[in-house]
């Protein structure tokens, strides 16, 4: 899992990223600054976690990187190309999809309930492989990808409703892999799963990363999960990065009050809740 961050050109570079959501028309409220001056880099063969509580801005950062949200100011560079503006043409959207894929928290809502699992993977393969492969070859490739995420041939013709939550998330991961991206954004991708299934998916992600030399941007509020999967982490609070470093070091010796508060909230032997006011003192 270890990666030498800083070696070679970064796959993703984010500089002074800012996102402001305007107040609703006719409202007396102020604009909402969701992300304010965020900067970081993601390198090849690395898992970088973005950590924070709900509303910290971590998902908004991820959505700007893949073009699902517009950038108010700052820049996003992917593979040396400026990706600060959302793609407008179909060709541009496909190019972005081959660079970065997104796996959402809820796999069921992101899958077509009427589409069989094999067809989900075949659809992404056709989209990105074009006409360069025949139908039999594509089907074989689709099954290889499903095998890689632990879904054997019997799952090919099943519907999402016939699968468990963990199996659906495996399908979502397989769909992302079908585009052969350099980076996968995992947005709370194991948060909806029970602990035993979480462990299975995290182990699967580690195996895939090692086999394919892929990088992950891992969005989470769960430090126990982050500790298991990530090489480095940055901590966000109120739209800003307040801390960052190697995951093991940062969790072993948190210095920023907010990081300490998050760390103290992780249950362990003899764990007792600690108020943030005490941690900040």
- Could you list the pLDDT tens digit for every one of the 281 residues in the chain? 444 444 578 999 999 999 999 988 777 778 999 999 999 999 999 999 999 999 999 999 999 999 899 999 999 999 999 999 888 888 888 888 889 999 988 777 778 888 999 999 999 998 886 655 557 888 999 999 999 999 999 999 999 999 998 999 999 999 999 999 999 999 998 888 888 889 999 999 999 998 888 999 999 999 989 999 999 999 999 999 999 999 999 999 988 999 998 888 776 554 454 554 444 43
**CATH, range 12-109+182-280:** 3.40.50.300
**What's the start-to-end Cα distance of the chain, in Å?**
35
Closest by CA position to 118, among listed 148, 147, 150, 146: 146
Residue 152's φ and ψ, nearest 5 degrees, are -70, -175
pTM: 0.87
Two structure tokens written together for 158: 């099943």
């Amino acid at each position: 899992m270890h990666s030498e961050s800083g070696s070679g050109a970064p796959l993703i570079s984010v500089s002074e990223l800012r996102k402001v959501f305007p107040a609703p028309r006719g409202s007396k409220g102020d604009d909402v600054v969701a992300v304010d001056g965020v900067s970081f880099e993601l390198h090849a063969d690395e898992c970088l976690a973005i950590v924070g509580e709900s509303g910290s801005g971590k998902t908004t950062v991820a959505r700007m990187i893949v073009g699902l949200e517009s950038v108010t100011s700052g820049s996003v560079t992917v593979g040396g190309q400026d990706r600060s503006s959302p793609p407008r043409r179909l060709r541009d959207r496909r190019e972005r999809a081959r660079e970065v894929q997104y796996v959402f928290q809820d796999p069921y809502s992101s899958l077509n309930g009427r589409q069989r699992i094999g067809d989900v993977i075949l659809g992404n393969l056709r989209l990105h492989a074009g006409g360069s492969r025949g139908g039999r070859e594509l089907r074989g490739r689709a099954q290889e990808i499903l095998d890689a995420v632990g879904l054997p041939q019997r799952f090919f013709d099943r519907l999402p409703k016939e699968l468990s939550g963990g199996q659906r998330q495996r399908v979502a991961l397989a769909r992302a892999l079908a585009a052969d991206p350099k980076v996968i954004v995992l947005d709370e991708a194991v948060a909806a799963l029970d602990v035993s299934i979480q462990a299975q998916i995290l182990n699967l992600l580690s195996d895939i990363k090692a086999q394919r030399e892929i990088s992950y941007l891992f969005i989470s509020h769960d430090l126990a999960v982050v500790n298991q999967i990530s090489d480095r982490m940055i901590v966000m609070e109120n739209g800003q990065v307040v801390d960052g470093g190697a995951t093991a070091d940062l969790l072993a010796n948190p210095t920023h009050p907010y990081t300490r508060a998050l760390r103290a909230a992780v249950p362990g032997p003899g764990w007792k809740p600690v108020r943030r006011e005490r941690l900040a003192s």
